[in-house]
């Protein structure tokens, strides 16, 4: 899977799953463009890629801010003429019980996790329609299928369920223009989100996973690489679990 001369945009690429995705596409010869609210971590990943002899640039951007994202994509399209792959990874989690959340919590979760996907897709979709090709991959979550759970409750689940619905809608609308739109639903993955999940709780939870292990960021990155490749040219509107068998659907 060679992405030479492909322009690959990754949101939330500064750490965790996003970082793994950036590295995977860069090492497959893609031109990786990192968008992250944390300018420092985005630059660190960019430098890590360039030190290996591959190509990357980084932008500081808030996906929940439509004007900010539109401006960044206008610059990307002006500089490179197209976007071949968009991977919407930026997201935050909420573990608060529903009784404990407020409107501010709701707006923040939806703003980043769902509106953020809308903002990036809306910014790039016309260009993909015009070029008659494109791959969009949205990082959702199994929480969006099962209503939350141990690492994200109702608000998080609602935002990720929205991402799943948007993925299917965009697949319908983008298909006639050669645009593939798919989503990945990670299960528990070894990122900063679960660093504090140790001891007996961790052991008991692992026993509920058929493969008896948490995923690694690279597992999600591998699926993203496949879905963005020509090997997946006939796949669109698919919601793929990378969860060790938690969902079994």
The residues annotated as belonging to the active site are 156
CA–CA distances in Å: residue 150 to residues 63, 140, 198, 216: 26, 16, 13, 18
DSSP state of 190: S
| Angstrom distance (rounded) from CA 176 to CA 132 | 9
Alpha-carbon distance 157 to 142, whole Å?
8
Please name every residue paired with 8 in a beta bridge, in sequence order, or none if there are none: 32, 85
Categorize the per-residue pLDDT at 152 as very low, low, confident or very high, splitting at 50, 70 and 90: confident
Is 193's pLDDT higher than 80?
no
CATH code, domain carrying 37: 3.40.50.720
Q: Tell me what pLDDT residue 142 has.
A: 96
129 inside domain: yes
Q: Decide if pLDDT at 234 tops 80.
A: yes
Closest CA to 13 of 44, 37, 35: 35
pLDDT tens for 153-180 read 999 999 999 999 999 999 999 999 999 9
Confidence category of residue 149, pLDDT binned at 50, 70, 90: confident
**Main-chain dihedrals φ then ψ at residue 124, nearest 5 degrees:** -105, -20
Q: How high is the pLDDT of residue 198?
A: 80
Work out the pLDDT band at 69, boundaries 50, 70, 90. very high
Q: How far apart are CA 151 and CA 149, in angstroms?
A: 6
Q: 158 lies in a domain?
A: yes
3-class DSSP string for 56-90: EEEEECCCCCHHHHHHHHHHHHHHHCCCCEEEECC
pLDDT of the residue at 177:
98
CB-CB contact of 46 with 39 (8 Å):
no
pLDDT digits (tens, 9 = 90+) for 11-30: 999 999 999 999 999 999 99
Report how far apart, in Å, the C-alpha atoms of 53 and of each of 8, 48, 227 are. 17, 9, 25
Q: What is the mean pLDDT of the chain?
A: 96
Rounded CA-CA distance 101/95 in Å is 10
CB 177 within 8 A of CB 127: no
Q: How far apart, in whole angstroms, are the C-alpha atoms of residue 33 and residue 22?
A: 8
What's the rounded Cα separation, in Å, for the pair 120 and 62?
A: 10
pTM, to two decimals: 0.97
For the ranges 12-26, 61-75, 132-146, 189-203, which has the lowest average pLDDT? Answer: 189-203
Structural domain contains residue 173? yes
Domain count, the chain: 1
2 within some domain: no
Q: Which residue has the tokens 């935002």?
A: 159
* pLDDT over 80 (residue 151): no
Domain-embedded: residue 203:
yes
Burial string for 5-21 (b: 16+ CB within 10 Å, else e) reads ebbbbbbbbbbbbbbbb
How confident is the model over 80-108, as pLDDT tens digits? 999 999 999 999 998 899 999 999 999 99
The answer to whether position 228 is within a domain reads: yes
Cβ proximity of 141 and 160 under 8 Å = yes
Q: Is residue 249 part of a domain?
A: no
Does 222 have pLDDT greater than 90? yes
pLDDT score at 199: 87
Q: What is the pLDDT of residue 194?
A: 76
User: Residue 123's domain spans which residues?
Assistant: 7-238
| Confidence category of residue 201, pLDDT binned at 50, 70, 90 | confident
Confidence at residue 205, expressed as pLDDT on a 0 to 100 scale: 86
Within a domain: 246: no
């Amino acid at each position: 899977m060679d992405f030479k001369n492909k322009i690959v945009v990754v949101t939330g690429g500064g750490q965790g799953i996003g970082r793994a995705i950036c590295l995977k596409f860069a090492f497959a010869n893609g031109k990786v463009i990192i968008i992250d609210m944390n300018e420092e971590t985005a630059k660190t990943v960019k430098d890590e890629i360039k030190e290996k002899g591959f190509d990357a640039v980084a932008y500081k951007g808030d996906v929940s801010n439509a004007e900010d994202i539109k401006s960044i994509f206008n610059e990307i399209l002006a500089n490179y003429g197209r976007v071949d792959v968009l991977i919407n990874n930026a997201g935050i989690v909420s573990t608060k019980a529903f009784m404990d959340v407020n409107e501010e919590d709701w707006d923040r979760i939806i703003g980043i996790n769902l509106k953020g996907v809308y903002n990036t897709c809306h910014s790039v979709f016309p260009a993909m329609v015009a070029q008659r090709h494109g791959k969009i991959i949205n990082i959702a979550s199994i929480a969006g299928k099962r209503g939350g759970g141990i690492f994200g409750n109702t608000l998080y689940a609602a935002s990720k369920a929205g991402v799943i619905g948007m993925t299917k809608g965009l697949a319908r609308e983008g298909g006639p223009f050669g645009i593939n739109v798919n989503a990945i639903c990670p299960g528990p993955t070894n990122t900063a989100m679960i660093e504090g999940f140790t001891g007996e709780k961790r052991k008991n939870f692992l026993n509920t996973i058929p493969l008896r292990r948490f995923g690694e960021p690279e597992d999600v990155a591998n699926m993203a690489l496949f879905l963005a490749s020509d090997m997946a040219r006939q796949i669109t509107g698919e919601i793929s679990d990378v969860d060790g068998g938690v969902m079994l659907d």
